[in-house]
Structure 1
């Protein structure tokens, strides 16, 4: 009675084996053909082919190394600044033993400059590497599940840096209405707006170019020059409450946009482990939180007087604690499954929830400061 059933399964298994055999043969055939051609060539041809192969292996080997080695990555990196020990708010004059005027530097500027250093000096800037620009057989790496997580993370950190650079120029680095724009901060903002994907040569426009990391390094240098002049009491850092309100508001809007991107991807592309753009969205959001965790921690030190006067100490501490907790989410494989799924979790929804909690806290902080 069961013989027809067994026969059906045997025929299905035989069919699967034939299909797998054809797939393997199709994959192996080009290599076998090249091997046959290479075997029949002369020594010179073999040497040329071997040299080309070695160059390709070194080229992509270096790319793999750069994308998989995350130098200096530390979710607790803010601890090294010892922000609680800072003697004064940013720009305030502090006692000096030399007789010269000395003012407190800005923790926001310090952290922002160090985040740039982390992105382009301690690590290679992946997005402008030639191998990244070429892609996988012409397919953008962002459309594959391979070697793009670090690039997305770096761009997320860069988003936090860019937003902070804009606010430093527009409000924090000057007294609004009574002073001009600080040139060092202006230079930093301009350089940070540069295209994230530029290599030494480009097609649009055609010709040689200055690569992206060079512009970002120039921005880092400008930020450090500003802090040096601030330490000499030659520059201004405006720690008024209204500046703090605007700074918080702009960050809340920035992460709110990221939350919307995560929600759209989670709702309309929930293919579990087979959504190859989910990892880009996740690691961009993670990088953005990584950058803002440092910037917000630094802002608490620069505006410590406002935090104390408005009784925001506990709420500010809770905000930073929640931001740090979000950085504990580091899955090996990013899954964009259904929110009620069992096998494939929804990491995008989890990260989106964390971002919305942070934004909610920032909105609450803003409302308290507005009273």
Structure 2
């Protein structure tokens, strides 16, 4: 009875092995052809060719080394913000008057801490992959995002960057201004501009929309944003800057985050419905890791917002719902499949990881919508 099933599995395995061998030979063919060409040349020509090839080999070795894994990845990173030591909401005054040598102090913003930490995580603790020239060149002309390898980290970083860019806009436009009508804080404005900079720029612009020539790398702008955020934090703690921790600001901030992850959920749904290639969907891993990076960032940002708006969250009785939202976000972050598969939802052989993480995103968004609804009453 099981013979047809066993034979079918054997045939499937043989097909997979043949496909792997074909891909492997296709990858090795250019290198073998190049090796035969070089070995037929004179020794001094070989030396010149070796000197030309060596920087490329080193460059690709560094690319593989940097793309192989995410450094300092830790779902519990918001614990480092020490929100438990908070005594007042962000921007509220701690010392009413300066007495003697005691300086006037106000509550810090843990949302700002989260954005600064995540930006540092992206460009200092890890190498920013998207502007790496060899990453941009692709794999024999194929965009790395359309392969199975070396692209997950870049997708994860871009997901984080999407979340911190959205948060930087909210901080400069609303949270860092009195009722959204006062002058924009110069440090938040600078941070917002730096974080909105193109993600793919290296030292030299290629021929394209912008003039060819030397320029500033993306990660240099992002590092500048960290300095601006830290400067704003220093001003805030010394009561020279504003953090407007009002209920309507929290409501709008939550609304923006819900819309942002709602867009990600739609992308996951579209890919899951339109393609059912299982383990052979070369774009599924990028979409999955991009969504995971976005949730990784919002987990810390929302932890920070909970401390910044603590008085409002307590007075409105949002603690339990907020705990549930954080738990759902953490569950999504902890998804870590060895190979991301985009199979059919009712498939028995290849799972559908896009639908799985999409389910958690919808749960998180549902919690956010409910939080917003309570704040709007």
Instruction: Normalising by structure 2, report the TM-score.
Output: 0.89
One of 265, 269, 276 as aligned partner of 2:275 = 269
Shift of 1:36: 4.0
Q: Is the 8 A contact 2:342 2:353 kept in 1?
A: yes
Give 1:57's aligned residue.
57
Give 1:102's aligned residue.
105
1:290 aligns with 2:300: no
1:110-129 equivalences under 5 Å are: 110-129=113-132
Evaluate the alpha carbon distance shift between residue 40 and residue 72 of structure 1 in structure 2; reply closer, same or farther with a 3 A threshold.
same
Give 1:358's aligned residue.
364
Evaluate the alpha carbon distance shift between residue 261 and residue 51 of structure 1 in structure 2; reply closer, same or farther with a 3 A threshold.
same
C-alpha separation in 2, matches of 1:25 and 1:149: 24
Give 1:66's aligned residue.
66
One of 172, 178, 181 as aligned partner of 1:175 = 178
Evaluate the alpha carbon distance shift between residue 123 and residue 26 of structure 1 in structure 2; reply closer, same or farther with a 3 A threshold.
closer
Q: Is the 8 A contact 2:203 2:216 kept in 1?
A: yes
Q: Is the 8 A contact 2:91 2:244 kept in 1?
A: yes
Q: Is the 8 A contact 2:174 2:180 kept in 1?
A: no
Aligned to 1:284, the other structure's residue is in SS state helix
Evaluate the alpha carbon distance shift between residue 340 and residue 45 of structure 1 in structure 2; reply closer, same or farther with a 3 A threshold.
same
C-alpha separation in 2, matches of 1:156 and 1:274: 22
Give 2:204's aligned residue.
201
1:254 aligns with 2:245: no
Shift of 1:179: 1.7
1:89-168 equivalences under 5 Å are: 89-95=89-95, 98-168=101-171
Shift of 1:335: 0.2
1:348 aligns with 2:351: no
Give 2:43's aligned residue.
43
Shift of 1:88: 1.1
C-alpha separation in 2, matches of 1:36 and 1:132: 27
Extract unaligned runs of 5+ from structure 1. Answer: 1-17
1:210 aligns with 2:213: no
Give 2:240's aligned residue.
234
CA deviations 1:22-69 (Å, max 9, x no partner) are 999887665555444433432211211222332221110000011113
Pick the structure with greater CA Rg.
1
Q: Is the 8 A contact 2:106 2:236 kept in 1?
A: yes
Which of 300-309 and 216-225 deviates more?
216-225
Instruction: Normalising by structure 1, report the TM-score.
Output: 0.91
Give 1:331's aligned residue.
337
Q: Report how many residues are paired.
A: 355
Shift of 1:21: 10
C-alpha separation in 2, matches of 1:192 and 1:145: 28
1:317 aligns with 2:362: no
C-alpha separation in 2, matches of 1:105 and 1:350: 37
Aligned to 2:327, the other structure's residue is in SS state helix
One of 237, 244, 249 as aligned partner of 2:250 = 244
Aligned to 1:359, the other structure's residue is in SS state helix
Which of 294-303 and 182-191 deviates more?
182-191
Extract unaligned runs of 5+ from structure 2. Answer: 1-17
C-alpha separation in 2, matches of 1:291 and 1:160: 6
